[in-house]
Each structure stands twice: as structure tokens, then as C-alpha cells.
A and B are shown apart, each in its own frame.
Chain A
Amino acid sequence: MPVTRRTLIVSSLLAAGLLVGCGKKTETDSDTLVVKIGSVAPLTGPQAHIGKDNENGARMAVDEINAQGLELGGKKIQLMLIGEDDQADPKTATIVAQKLVDQGVQAVIGHLNSGTTIPASKYYHDAGIPQISPSATAIAYTAQGYKTAYRVMANDEQQGRVLGQYAVTGMGAKRIAVIDDRTAYGQGLADEFEKAAKAAGGEIVAREFTHDRATDFTAILTSIKGKNPDLLFFGGMDPQGGPMAQQMKRLGLSAGLLGGDGLQNVNFIKLAGTDAEGVTASSPGLPLEAMPGGPDFKAKFEAKYGVIQVYAPYAYDAVHVLVAAMKRAGSSDPAKVLAELPNTDHQGVTGQLKFDQKGDTQGGAVTLYRVKDGQWTVLETVQ
């Protein structure tokens, strides 16, 4: 393209506009300090609705705190939430993490997925910024030894343990087959499930594998059928779980199907159709209605942003946990906040939040659900 005078003028105007725009953003009153907090979740792609939900949860907390007025060490504080999109993609997650670090955020709420939270956590660790994930459940996230990594939801170890025990004692399964989708989430959950089920006295008769793009499970299901299990556990997500439930029925595999929070959603029921009936799955945390501040939160949130997808209450609590630590430290300085985070004891919407040394929540609850008449219904909550 030939560079004409017009394009030159237009582009320099654009550049000037960008500069002015940036200048405005960082401009502050002399007596109010702006504290930037990052919020990262997929805002585009198949999980965009869940990602936006996280961001809205965090934003609601930030808006409330700003409205109440926050003071740290005698200075008025204005919190600013910077929402970023990691597209649920590990590569993008690291780019976004670096971007937030460069922008000088004081803390990060995120990310949504385990697969993005783990690679991004290194960037926050290196920069010494506290990170609180509302929804990443993979064990590896807090097992890296980073003093910056926290989460406000039960991890897969807790979930896998509950599932394994429930399979044997609650569902009476003796012969159990396990399939996982070889992702960080699916494999981790299946491994923990297997350990717990064995410890509870169940026998693992088959361990089969698939991947997170597969649709045909007839071969592994047939092989499993030959081993006569009375329960099949699947560590993976609904796009695989749905067809799997259908193919089990078609092959005459009468074992029950059990899964983690990857299956516990509306899409699973849509994909499995009538074969979803009787499927059991768990989800970390309490059902919203049973949360201490659940009904109240629901009313406030829905008035502002519409229906709650999943994790908004956790993102909301994550911001409050963070600000509580800032208040105790009397500063938004990441190093001082990090020193205070281990002392967290916060009564949040989702429950009483305390961290262990790794940054996991202590005694996170896990709730079991079963599909009945095309709806997920609560079976019981295990603390």
C-alpha cells in the first residue's frame, strides 16, 4: 500500500488518540490511588458465557467495594478491574498474564480453566503478584510451590476422593471401569477417583482412555463391557460424556455412569438426551441455594447481569478475600498482601474461606447431583 499523506495523517491521529486514551486511564486524583486488579477468563469461544460470568462476579464485588469506599493506610483507594480474555487457551493465557503484569496489576482473579491457570501462574509468581482462581480445580495448580497461587474452590483431589468414596459406599459399586480424556483435568480427576475407590474397597476392572475431541467410544466401551463392571467413571467433559452415555445404552452396557463437574452441566443433558437419566456427577462447592449467602447473592447478581452460569459467586468471594487481605496489610502492595493471604478467614457467599499452606481451600465442599426427569437434582453435599 502506498503511503499517502492521508494515511499518514490518519494513522498519526489514531496513534495520538491511543496515547490520549492511555493517559486518561492512568490519570488519578492526587488523594485517590487506583489499584488495578486483573480478571482473566475466556470471553470468546465455547466457554465464553462461563467466562463472562466470572468477570461479572468479580466486577460486582469491585463495584460494591468502590461504592462503600475503601481506605488503605489512610489513602482513598479506587479499585479498577481489568478484564482480559484468555480464550481458554494455554498459549493465550500466558500472553494475557504477561500483559497484565506489564500493566502493573496488583492482583489477579483467574483464570477459569485449570489448563490456563497453571501456565499463567508462573508469570504471576515471577512478578510476585497474588493470584486467586475462582474455578481452577487441577491439583497441579497449587502443587507447584508458588506462594502466589490460591483458589477458593475445592480441588480435584477433594472431588476425586469424594467421588471415589461415594462410588463404593453410596452407589454400592464393586467392579469399576475408569475412562479419562488425557487432559490435565480429566486424567487428574480419574487418578484421584481410582485411588479413593480402591481405598474404599472397590475393584478397578478396566482403565481406558480417549481424547477431548473423540466422538466414538464403542471400541473401549465394548472392551469394558467384557469386564462386567457395575459402574463406569468418566474423567472428562460433556462433549464426550454425552455421546458416551448414548453409546453405553446402545451397546447394552448396563453399568451406571459417574463423572465430575465436567459432566455436571445442562449441555451434557442436551447431548445425552434420554440416556442422561440416572447419570451421577459431582461439582465442587455447595449448590447456590444452600450457600450461606446464595439466595441474597443471586437476587443482587441477577438484577444486574442476568442468570448466574456457574462460578460467579466464587469470583465474587475471591475479590473479597483479596481486599480483606489488603485491609489487614493496610496496603495494596503485592508483597504485603501475599504475607496476609495465608491468614484469610472470610465468611463469603460460598462458605467460610480459609487456606491451607498450599493455597487450597480447607475443607471445600463437594456436591453430588443426579439427572432426574431431564434435570440435575441434588443428591447430597459432602464436606
Chain B
Amino acid sequence: MDIFLQQLINGLVLGSIYALVALGYTMVYGILELINFAHGEVTMIGAMVGLTVIGLIMGLAPDLPGILVVLGGVLVAIPACMLLAYSIEKVAYRPLRKAPRLAPLITAIGVSIVLQNVAMLVWGRQYISFPRILPEGQYELLGAHISYLQIFIVVLSLSVMASLWFLVQRTRLGRAMRATAQSKEVAALMGVDVDRVISATFLIGAAIAAVAGVMVSAYYGLAHYYMGFMLGLKAFSAAVLGGIGNIAGAMLGGMLLGIIEALGAGYIGDITGGFLGSHYQDVFAFFVLILVLVLRPSGLLGERVASRA
């Protein structure tokens, strides 16, 4: 029982990380119907910038408590990622807004490769370790362990999702976003500055990605120029699973995907008697993605949008 509970916790934390990144995918898709494949790399840049700043702060003020140091890293990573995402949108996506659907998609993949290589040149190919400065305590629950950081990650992603939902449903900007999502042209006629709304969407997504990046590298204790690729793919699968374009869907999809992966990897060896092993962990995510695309293309919480996608 404690093992099962531990696997659920593992999955929940992993899922929260996916969900944080998936929110960025889903917001951009909701408005532009563009799958922003560079989003995983924005997360990676967030982690790298955060780590660099954390290293600098630790060098300058070695006595500062760890939480403040990490907070400092996050606070620099957020504007860095926002600036990056703003430029990406302006340089790579805006000129193609009226182009066929495939063009910006391919540009997005291109941007993602460029970012990976730039990060490789700037930060090198080595794995960079995250200093152990966060409080490392943990609770024990019926034999299962859950650390402060894990609790923080789950709470963080839930609260980010809640505030996003509030933003979209209850604020002026949110109303403009929803209008733009329905029809850019009509929204523009109604006096909505579409370019600004789209930029704002990218900025918000990038800010969340920055936080997610620092959290991921704190959780696993390392960062690497390649880390955004798999993370981005998994988060994308999560967004599709939940219904891409839907904020609650991204959250649900992320959590579900995390739990499916953890339980799958944890039990497949025993269930199949060693025939299939835990190296199929990553297969689950993509298997689920295919299943959803075949059976319910709009995702768990998505609305049917037959004419789109």
C-alpha cells in the first residue's frame, strides 16, 4: 500500500511539472491555434538563467538563506524568459500569422533547435548541477515520503492554474483573450488590440515556464541544454490529453499523464512478468497521446472544434 501511495505521489509531482509547462502550450494554442514547440526550450532557458543567477548570488552573498537565493534566480529568470518569448513571437511567428498553418509550426521547431544550440554554446554541454540550498525536510505519510519541494511544486502548479483561470475568465485582458481566440478579425473590429493580446499571452506563458524551469532543475538537481525537449513533448501530450486550448484541461492532462507514467513504469515489469520493463516509461505518454487523438481528438475537457486543427 505504501508503495502504491508513493507511486501516486511520484506521479502527482511529475504531473504537476508537466502541467506547469502544458499551461504555456495550451494558452498559445487557445489563442493562435499554434503549437509553440519552442516552449520547452523557453523552460530550459528559464532553468539555465535561474541557475546562473543563483550561482552569482551565492558567490556574492553566501550567507543568504537558500529560499531567498532561489527566489532571486526565479525573479531574474521570469523577465529573461518573457523577453525571449516576446522576441520569438515578434520575429518568428508574427510575420507568419496569415501564412498557412504549417509555416509557423515549422518555424516553431526551428526556433526550438536554435534555442537548444544557443544554450549549448552559452552554458556548454555539461550537465549543470543545482546547488542543494533548499530546505530538504520531508513528511512521512503511511510509509510514503513527500518532501517540502514536492508539496511546493504541486501547490504551485494548482495555484498558477487557478490564477490563470481567474485571469482569463474574470479580467479585462482575459475577455480580450477569449475574444481574440474566437475571431481575431472581429475582436480587432471591437477595439481589441490583437497584437498586444497575443504578446501578453506569450509573456504570461513564458513567465510560468521560467518558474517551471527553475523548479524542475531544483527537483532533479540538474539542468542541461537538452532538458526542454522531452519536457516539452510530454507537456504537449498532457495539453492534448486534457484538451488543448483548455486551461483546466492542461492541468488535468498533466496530472493524469504523470500518474499514468509513474504507475506504468512502476508496475509493468511485475504485471507482465518481466516481459515488458520500465524502459517503456516514456512510451506511455505517447501511447496515451495517440489513443486520445484517435478516440477523442478534442481531449478530455476540450470542446469539439471540427473545423479547426
Q: Is B152 interfacial (CB-CB < 8 Å)? A: no
Name A223's contact: one of B3, B230, B261, B282 (CB within 8 Å): B3
Q: Is A209 interfacial (CB-CB < 8 Å)? A: yes
Stretch at the interface among B82-90, B173-181, B267-275: B267-275
A219 touches B222 (CB 8 A): no
B10 touches A222 (CB 8 A): yes
Name B6's contact: one of A215, A238, A243, A251 (CB within 8 Å): A251
A268 to B: closest C-beta gap in Å: 10
Q: Which residues of B contact A270 (CB under 8 A)?
A: 129
A250-B147 CB under 8 A given contacts A215-B222, A226-B3 = yes
For B263, the closest partner residue in chain A by CB is: A219
Q: Which residues of B contact A213 (CB under 8 A)?
A: 226, 230
- A206→B267 CA distance, assembly (Å): 12
Q: Which residues of B contact A243 (CB under 8 A)?
A: 220-222
B183 to A: closest C-beta gap in Å: 41
A219 touches B262 (CB 8 A): yes
Q: Which residues of A contact B127 (CB under 8 A)?
A: 46, 238-239, 242, 267, 271
Q: Which residues of B contact A182 (CB under 8 A)?
A: 279
Task: Report how many residues on chain B are interfacial, defined by Cβ distance under 8 Å.
Answer: 39
Q: Which residues of B contact A219 (CB under 8 A)?
A: 7, 10-11, 261-266, 278, 281
A187 to B: closest C-beta gap in Å: 10
What string of 1s and 0s marks CB contacts (under 8 Å) between B122-143 and chain A?
Answer: 0011110100100000101000
Q: Is B145 interfacial (CB-CB < 8 Å)? A: yes
B129 to A: closest C-beta gap in Å: 5
Q: Is A333 interfacial (CB-CB < 8 Å)? A: no
Q: Which residues of B contact A214 (CB under 8 A)?
A: 281
A6 to B: closest C-beta gap in Å: 32
For B230, the closest partner residue in chain A by CB is: A213
Q: Is A252 interfacial (CB-CB < 8 Å)? A: yes
Q: Which residues of B contact A361 (CB under 8 A)?
A: none
* Overall SS of chain B's interface: helix
B266 touches A223 (CB 8 A): yes
Q: Which residues of chain A from 201 to 222 have a CB within 8 Å of any chain B CB?
A: 206-211, 213-216, 218-220, 222
Q: Is A52 interfacial (CB-CB < 8 Å)? A: no
Name A210's contact: one of B126, B262, B278 (CB within 8 Å): B278
B129 touches A242 (CB 8 A): yes
Name B10's contact: one of A207, A218, A252, A267 (CB within 8 Å): A218
B132 touches A222 (CB 8 A): no
B278 touches A273 (CB 8 A): no
Q: Is A225 interfacial (CB-CB < 8 Å)? A: yes
Q: Is A274 interfacial (CB-CB < 8 Å)? A: yes
B262 to A: closest C-beta gap in Å: 4
B262 touches A246 (CB 8 A): no
Q: Is B14 interfacial (CB-CB < 8 Å)? A: yes
A55 to B: closest C-beta gap in Å: 19
A46 touches B132 (CB 8 A): no
Q: Is B66 interfacial (CB-CB < 8 Å)? A: no
For A270, the closest partner residue in chain B by CB is: B129
A209-B278 CB under 8 A given contacts A220-B266, A243-B221, A271-B221 = yes
B10 touches A246 (CB 8 A): no
A211 touches B279 (CB 8 A): yes
Q: Please indicate which of the listed interface residues B7, B126, B226 has the most CB atoms of chain A within 10 Å of its own CB.
A: B126
B145 touches A239 (CB 8 A): no
A139 to B: closest C-beta gap in Å: 21
Name B269's contact: one of A45, A223, A273, A274 (CB within 8 Å): A223
Q: Is B224 interfacial (CB-CB < 8 Å)? A: yes
- A271→B261 CA distance, assembly (Å): 25
Closest 5 CB pairs of A and B: A209-B279, A219-B265, A218-B10, A226-B3, A46-B125
- A251→B140 CA distance, assembly (Å): 10
Q: Is B55 interfacial (CB-CB < 8 Å)? A: no
Q: Which residues of chain A from 173 to 199 have a CB within 8 Å of any chain B CB?
A: 182
